[in-house]
């Protein structure tokens, strides 16, 4: 029995819940197939249905035995069964064979993996070599000769994911082309539907008059920002969760060869030609098989700084997994050649065996302290800032749940500020058999959001860090000493600050998720948006969401998990309820909103569905347009697969359809 921190309530009887859920899914599968069979009285149809029922029954049994303990609601970070059922068979199979579930599926035979994919999706995967079943059709591509030329008179709008090197995510009024007064005139201009996707986690980028974005199925797209049609597509090895970073150039330099940088789910870092989409270099960022790139790499001074996290918390749920050995890292590359210049690990020493768990499996430690966020670059001090997550196994270290300052030139760690000592956690802690759960057992209070470097009204610089604990920290960039702490939210495994704050003037805007997770905390939930004074940490205003927009929608919650974007007079934030909202910077008043958790029409033959906003895919505001992705089918949130473009009302056709079919904007809170 593992000890719990006082902030948590006791666990639920998970073994009983898991058994009931597995029984329910088997009963559900058999009843659905039986109903399908009885609906057709023809003998041949019955025979075909019987064969399909047999195949699906086998897939249901395999799923229940191999996958059910995580994907039937027992592990909050695992996509629920209902989300898996809307994925294509090929994307499910790819996840098991080459993607995030590769290690968990290693014991399954090829035919068994295919049976699971068929059971979940209702269709058989394509045969090897047959190509993907679902692709963007030619209808979604720009018509021949109609695509805009790459315009070297338009350098990148931003230096990277953080808009500026310090991750302030603030866009000037001139670059935005929108003021608070313009919001009432916004309308939906076009919709792009990503194939084989239930989430969109890649923040769009604008450069050369083109829009760049990554996708769940591993594609990276160059789009026409005016129409949303495809100019070219690059295929990565796995899901692209990061934003796309475009190298800068002098406006009008016709000899410039800009590159686009990003990372993928299986830990690769890429550089491709931003004009042609051709591959330039690709490097594996980390030797660990569970390494992943979620935070967008940062580009500065001819170097690319890639943060490395991992998915090792997932296989740790199995008691026969030797947990855990991954260490978070930052890797510096020469941006042109891809040469690795240095690697700094968040835990100095590699993991060593520290005994056996109750199942007799070797246990290793210390481990973890992953980096989920994009590094902030401090040009003046020659250092970068990253936040780390929890340890995966005991013993907990002094670098988990911490902010680290790292020398840009040599990778030396200059200082570490640790906010929550003694935090070690993995998904075994939510399992009936928790043999791999470390003694610390949480609280899982990562720094997942991009750390910010900003100047307060007192003229001093601050490192601003938001944590899943719900606390925002103001830190001295020279020493790492704490200047102030402010509690903006309750915090929790799916609470507090998740993927990105933003600055506007002398205040930092803080999104809080605070989703219910079955635990008891000493502080009230404060899901919504909050303004904090950079110099003092004082909360200037709050706009708390109460979930009125959710109704009976499954997986709908109040709160803001996704990264946000600001201008001098408004902040744009997408909620877990699928609503995109603009609030006044001065007082938090709601100025505009648009409900996205619905179906859309989009060219290309791909079903278009909006959902929750999540991940680091913050909205982009540029040239009088707003580009926002909707869909976060992971961690039991609403799935979706769309990129939406909004602009001022005009006589031009909107929403890829005649003007009289343009959806009505619904104002909600």
Q: Tell me, what's the pLDDT at 125?
A: 75
Quick one: pLDDT band at residue 130, thresholds 50, 70, 90?
very low
Per the CB < 8 A criterion, the answer to whether 162 and 374 are in contact is yes
Least confident of 48-52, 101-105, 111-115, 157-161: 48-52
Q: Tell me, what's the pLDDT at 75?
A: 57
Read off the pLDDT of residues 514-571 as tens digits, 9 standing for 90 and up: 988 888 899 999 999 999 999 999 999 999 998 888 988 889 999 999 999 999 999 9
Q: Tell me, what's the pLDDT at 100?
A: 67
Quick one: pLDDT band at residue 104, thresholds 50, 70, 90?
confident
Q: Where is pLDDT greater, at 35 or 474?
A: 474
Give the Å distances, CA to CA, from 200 to 193, 295, 368.
10, 14, 25
Residue 582 pLDDT more than 50? yes
Residue where one domain finishes, among candidates 65, 94, 121 = 121
Residue where one domain finishes, among candidates 105, 121, 137 = 121
CA 320 – CA 505 distance, rounded (Å): 52
Q: Tell me, what's the pLDDT at 594?
A: 97
Q: Tell me, what's the pLDDT at 36?
A: 34
Least confident of 27-31, 212-216, 242-246: 27-31
Tell me, yes or no, whether 300 lies in a domain. Answer: yes
Least confident of 15-29, 489-503, 596-610: 15-29
Question: What pTM does this model have?
Answer: 0.84
Q: What is the mean pLDDT of residues 417-430?
A: 95
CA dihedral 57, 58, 60, 66 (to 10 degrees): 170
Read off the pLDDT of residues 190-233 as tens digits, 9 standing for 90 and up: 999 998 888 999 999 999 999 999 999 899 999 999 999 999 99
> Residues 6 or more apart from 650 whose CB is under 8 A from it?
none
Give the Å distances, CA to CA, from 538 to 222, 462, 472, 589.
42, 14, 10, 18
Residue 359 pLDDT more than 70? yes
Beta bridge partners of 565: 572
Least confident of 294-298, 320-324, 341-345, 552-556: 552-556
Give the Å distances, CA to CA, from 83 to 73, 138, 199, 241, 412.
11, 27, 10, 18, 43
Residue 379 pLDDT more than 50? yes
Tell which residue, 645, 590, 634, has the closest CA to residue 612. Answer: 634
Longest dimension (CA), the chain: 81
Give the total number of structural domains in the chain.
2
Please return the burial class of 365, using the count of CB atoms within 10 Å of its CB with bins 0-12, 13-18 and 19+: buried
- Of all residues in the chain, what percent carry a pLDDT higher than 70? 83
Structure token pair of residue 48: 């075909």
Helices (H) and strands (E) in the chain, counts: 7, 37
Give the Å distances, CA to CA, from 412 to 60, 297, 333, 348, 417.
51, 18, 15, 11, 15
What is the residue-averaged pLDDT of the chain? 86
User: What CATH number does the domain containing 303 carry?
Assistant: 2.40.10.480
Tell me, yes or no, whether 352 lies in a domain. Answer: yes
Tell me, yes or no, whether 502 lies in a domain. Answer: no
Give the Å distances, CA to CA, from 541 to 528, 530, 531, 537.
11, 6, 5, 12
Q: What is the mean pLDDT of residues 16-29?
A: 32
Tell me, yes or no, whether 292 lies in a domain. Answer: yes
Backbone dihedral region of 325: left (phi > 0), alpha (psi from -120 to 50 degrees) or beta? alpha
Backbone dihedral region of 579: left (phi > 0), alpha (psi from -120 to 50 degrees) or beta? beta
Per the CB < 8 A criterion, the answer to whether 348 and 458 are in contact is no
CA 267 – CA 412 distance, rounded (Å): 23
Tell me, yes or no, whether 241 lies in a domain. Answer: no
CA 274 – CA 262 distance, rounded (Å): 12
In which domain, by residue range, is 379 found? Answer: 286-445
CA 195 – CA 173 distance, rounded (Å): 34
Residue 65 pLDDT more than 90? no
Please return the burial class of 116, using the count of CB atoms within 10 Å of its CB with bins 0-12, 13-18 and 19+: buried
Q: How many CB atoms lie within 10 A of CB 538?
A: 12
Each as own residue / partner, the long-range contacts of residues 33-37 (CB below 8 Å, 24 or more positions apart, any chain) are 33/57
DSSP-derived secondary structure letter, 368: B
Q: Tell me, what's the pLDDT at 397?
A: 97
Q: How far apart are the first and last CA of the chain?
A: 43
Q: Where is pLDDT greater, at 649 or 660?
A: 649
Read off the pLDDT of residues 630-657 as tens digits, 9 standing for 90 and up: 999 888 899 999 999 999 997 444 444 4
Residue where one domain finishes, among candidates 388, 411, 445 = 445
Least confident of 22-31, 148-157, 215-224: 22-31
Tell me, yes or no, whether 429 lies in a domain. Answer: yes
Q: Where is pLDDT greater, at 3 or 442?
A: 442
Q: Identify the three-state secondary structure at position 645.
A: strand
Least confident of 135-139, 200-204, 428-432: 135-139
Quick one: pLDDT band at residue 10, thresholds 50, 70, 90?
very low
> Residues 6 or more apart from 343 whose CB is under 8 A from it?
329, 330, 331, 332, 411
Around 166, how many Cα atoms within 13 Å sit in the side-chain half-sphere?
Answer: 21
Q: Tell me, what's the pLDDT at 659?
A: 31
């Amino acid at each position: 029995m593992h000890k719990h921190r006082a902030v948590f309530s006791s666990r639920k009887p998970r073994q009983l819940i898991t058994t009931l859920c597995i029984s329910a899914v088997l009963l559900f599968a058999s009843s659905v197939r039986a109903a399908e069979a009885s609906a057709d009285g023809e003998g041949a149809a019955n025979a075909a249905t019987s064969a399909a029922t047999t195949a699906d029954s086998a897939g249901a049994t395999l799923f229940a035995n191999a996958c059910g303990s995580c994907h039937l609601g027992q592990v909050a970070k695992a996509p629920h069964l209902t989300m898996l059922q809307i994925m294509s068979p090929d994307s499910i199979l790819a996840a098991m064979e080459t993607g995030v579930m590769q290690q968990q599926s290693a014991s399954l035979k090829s035919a068994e993996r295919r049976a699971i994919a068929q059971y979940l999706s209702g269709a058989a995967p394509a045969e090897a070599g047959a190509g993907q079943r679902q692709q963007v059709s030619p209808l979604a591509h720009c018509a021949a000769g109609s695509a805009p030329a790459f315009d070297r008179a338009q350098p990148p709008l931003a230096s990277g994911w953080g808009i500026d090197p310090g991750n302030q995510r603030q866009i000037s009024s001139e670059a935005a082309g929108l003021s608070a007064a313009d919001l009432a005139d916004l309308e939906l201009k076009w919709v792009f539907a990503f194939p084989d996707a239930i989430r969109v986690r890649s923040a769009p980028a604008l450069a050369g008059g083109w829009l760049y974005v990554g996708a769940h199925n591993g594609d990276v797209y160059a789009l026409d920002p005016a129409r949303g049609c495809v100019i070219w597509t690059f295929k990565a090895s796995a899901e692209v969760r990061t934003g796309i970073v475009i190298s800068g150039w002098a406006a009008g330099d016709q000899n410039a060869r800009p590159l686009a940088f990003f990372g993928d789910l299986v830990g690769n870092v890429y550089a491709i030609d931003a004009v042609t989409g051709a591959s330039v270099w690709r490097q594996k960022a980390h030797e660990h098989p569970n390494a992943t790139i979620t935070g967008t790499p940062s580009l500065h001074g001819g170097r690319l700084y890639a943060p490395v996290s991992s998915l090792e918390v997932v296989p740790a749920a199995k008691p026969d997994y030797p947990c855990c050995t991954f260490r978070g890292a930052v890797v510096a590359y020469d941006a042109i050649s891809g040469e690795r210049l240095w690697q700094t690990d968040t835990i100095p020493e590699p993991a060593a065996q520290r005994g056996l768990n109750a199942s007799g499996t070797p246990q290793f430690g210390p481990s973890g302290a992953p980096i989920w966020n994009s590094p902030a670059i401090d040009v003046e001090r020659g250092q970068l800032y990253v936040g780390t997550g929890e340890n995966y196994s005991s013993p907990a270290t002094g670098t988990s749940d911490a902010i680290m300052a790292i020398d840009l030139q040599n990778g030396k760690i200059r200082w570490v500020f640790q906010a929550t000592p003694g935090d070690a956690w993995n998904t075994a802690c939510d399992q009936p058999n928790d043999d791999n759960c470390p003694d610390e057992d949480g609280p899982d209070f990562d720094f997942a959001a991009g750390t910010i470097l900003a100047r307060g009204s007192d003229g001093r610089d601050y490192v601003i860090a938001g944590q899943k604990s719900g606390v925002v920290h103001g830190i001295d960039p020279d020493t790492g000493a704490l200047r102030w702490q402010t509690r903006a939210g309750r915090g929790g495994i799916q609470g507090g600050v998740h993927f990105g704050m933003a600055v506007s003037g002398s205040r930092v805007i803080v999104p809080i998720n605070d989703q219910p997770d079955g635990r008891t905390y000493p502080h009230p939930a404060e899901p919504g948006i909050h303004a904090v004074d950079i110099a003092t940490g004082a909360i200037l205003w709050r706009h708390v969401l109460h979930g009125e927009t959710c109704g009976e929608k499954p997986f709908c919650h109040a709160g803001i998990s996704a990264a946000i974007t600001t201008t001098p007079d408004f902040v744009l934030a997408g909620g877990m309820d699928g609503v995109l909202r603009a609030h006044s910077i001065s007082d938090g008043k709601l100025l505009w909103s648009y409900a996205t958790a619905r179906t859309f029409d989009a060219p290309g033959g791909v079903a278009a569905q909006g959902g929750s906003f999540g991940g680091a895919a913050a909205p982009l505001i540029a040239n009088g347009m707003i580009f926002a992705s909707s869909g976060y089918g992971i961690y039991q949130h609403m799935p979706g697969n769309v990129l939406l473009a909004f602009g001022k009302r005009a006589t031009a056709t909107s929403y890829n359809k005649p003007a009289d079919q343009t959806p009505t904007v619904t104002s909600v809170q």
